[in-house]
Each structure stands twice: as structure tokens, then as C-alpha cells.
């Protein structure tokens, strides 16, 4: 675990990549990689709780993932429901509050119901806020934000002259949360994959070659340790 003197990020975001490759290297169906990835989620939630991280956002299912084979999408939705149902008591015990961002109405009704149920059951928790990005796309979020702003202008709630960075941020899915301090991406890929495009403007990035199912609590501690050694300038010259 990072030393107490190290800076702990308030908000960590993770692109959980490599489930399919993890399964393929073992001659297993892709869904087995996703199932193994669920254990990595549990480890990261525990690690963030121990570090007193306030927010953890996980890129769980992108808007582009709907293009995957129907059988895989169906299995992923059932895995989501199973994970939420089984882990709700543990989330409550560990004082974790669940939230979700994305076009959630695109999810199957059963998945939506279980998601909202877990969100309601953990609403009173005040420890780590775990945010699942589901049917999420960064470009879609920006488009939805623009539409929201236009509605507000049309209804006379705001004047278009009032629109600035802060105002626009209030119309995004993430309006209730601070921007991530640290982005972790597994599998060694060097891209954002349409994730939190607006919010990651000044976020520190940490990329590891490890595939997501192999990512452990120790790996998260290592990412936070490196984050603590960096100097964040936000474009200001010292």
C-alpha cells in the first residue's frame, strides 16, 4: 500500500481491457474472461476502500459494445445482473455507494431493474462511490450535454451567454462527480476508447500491460504510488 505521505487520488477511472484476450490465451470462451474480470473489480473496490479513494469509475460496457455478437451481449448483461445481485450485501457491508452513467435506458429491462435496486439499496452509504459506465460513450455524452443545454436555453432557464466550461460540465452524466485524477488502463493499449473524453483533460494516465483479470489490489496500489510521485501543473508554468 502507498505510504501515508503519498497523494491519494480523489477519483480513479479504469478502462478494464483484456478480458477476451485473457480467455483466448487459456482456450476459454470470452465470457469466462468477463467472469474472471469480475474478481478484479472486487479487488479494486477493496483497494480503493482501504486507500480512502472517494470515487471509482469503471468502464463496464461501452455504447460500441452493443455491436458485439448477440450471445456475448446477452451473457454480459446476465453477468452484470448476477454481479449486482450477489455483491449488493457486500457493497452495503463495505459502505460503498453504487451509481451509474451512460444511456442506461438502452440496457435490458431486467438489467435496469437490478441496477436501480442496487443503487437504491446502497444510497445511504457514504464511503467509496462506485460508478459503472454502462452503454457509455464519451462522444454520446457530449452530444447529450449539448442537447440538454439547448433545452435549458429554449426553456429560458439559462441565457446562451452564460455557457462556459463549468456550465457545460453541469449538463454531463458526471455532473455530480469530480473529474478523475488518475486513469488506469490495462492490456497495454494506449488509447482512451471514447471514455470520459471531456473529463480526462488533465487526468494522469497509468497504463499497464496486465490484462484486466490479472489486475490485483497490489497493481492498483502501484498505480497510486506512481501517481503520488507526479507533479500536476494543469498547464501552469512553474
Tell me the catalytic residues: 17, 65
Rounded CA separation 29/101 (Å): 28
Rounded CA separation 202/234 (Å): 6
Q: For the chain, how many residues are written?
A: 238
Angle at CA 95, nearest 5°, toward 132 and 98? 20
**Which residue shows C-alpha cell 503520488?**
228
Report residue 164 CA to chain centroid gap: 25
Rounded CA separation 145/199 (Å): 13
Of 205, 202, 176, which Cα lies nearest the Cα of 193?
A: 205
Of 236, 210, 234, which Cα lies nearest the Cα of 223?
A: 210
Of 188, 215, 211, 185, which Cα lies nearest the Cα of 39?
A: 215
SS3 content of the chain, % helix, strand, coil (to 5): 50, 15, 40
235 by DSSP, 3-state: which? coil
Amino acid at each position: 500500500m502507498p505510504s501515508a505521505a503519498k497523494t491519494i487520488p480523489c477519483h480513479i477511472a479504469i478502462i478494464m481491457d483484456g478480458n477476451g484476450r485473457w480467455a483466448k490465451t487459456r482456450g476459454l470462451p470470452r465470457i469466462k474472461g468477463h467472469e474472471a474480470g469480475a474478481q478484479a473489480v472486487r479487488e479494486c473496490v477493496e483497494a480503493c476502500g482501504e486507500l480512502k479513494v472517494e470515487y471509482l469509475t469503471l468502464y463496464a460496457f461501452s455504447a460500441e459494445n452493443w455491436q458485439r455478437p448477440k450471445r456475448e451481449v446477452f451473457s454480459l448483461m446476465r453477468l452484470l445482473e448476477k454481479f449486482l445481485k450477489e455483491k449488493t450485501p457486500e457493497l452495503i457491508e463495505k459502505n460503498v455507494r453504487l451509481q451509474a452513467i451512460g444511456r442506461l435506458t438502452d440496457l435490458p429491462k431486467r438489467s435496469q431493474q437490478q441496477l436501480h435496486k442496487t443503487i437504491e439499496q446502497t444510497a445511504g452509504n457514504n464511503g467509496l462511490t462506485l460508478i459503472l459506465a454502462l452503454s457509455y460513450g464519451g462522444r454520446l455524452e457530449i452530444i447529450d450535454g449539448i442537447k440538454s443545454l439547448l433545452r435549458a436555453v429554449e426553456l429560458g432557464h439559462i441565457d446562451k451567454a452564460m455557457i462556459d466550461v463549468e456550465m457545460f460540465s453541469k449538463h454531463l452524466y458526471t455532473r455530480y462527480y469530480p473529474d478523475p485524477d488518475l486513469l488506469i488502463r490495462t492490456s497495454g493499449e494506449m488509447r482512451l476508447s471514447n471514455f470520459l473524453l471531456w473529463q480526462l483533460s488533465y487526468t494522469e494516465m497509468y497504463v499497464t500491460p496486465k490484462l484486466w483479470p490479472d489486475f490485483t489490489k497490489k497493481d492498483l496500489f502501484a498505480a497510486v504510488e506512481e501517481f503520488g510521485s507526479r507533479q500536476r501543473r494543469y498547464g501552469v508554468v512553474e
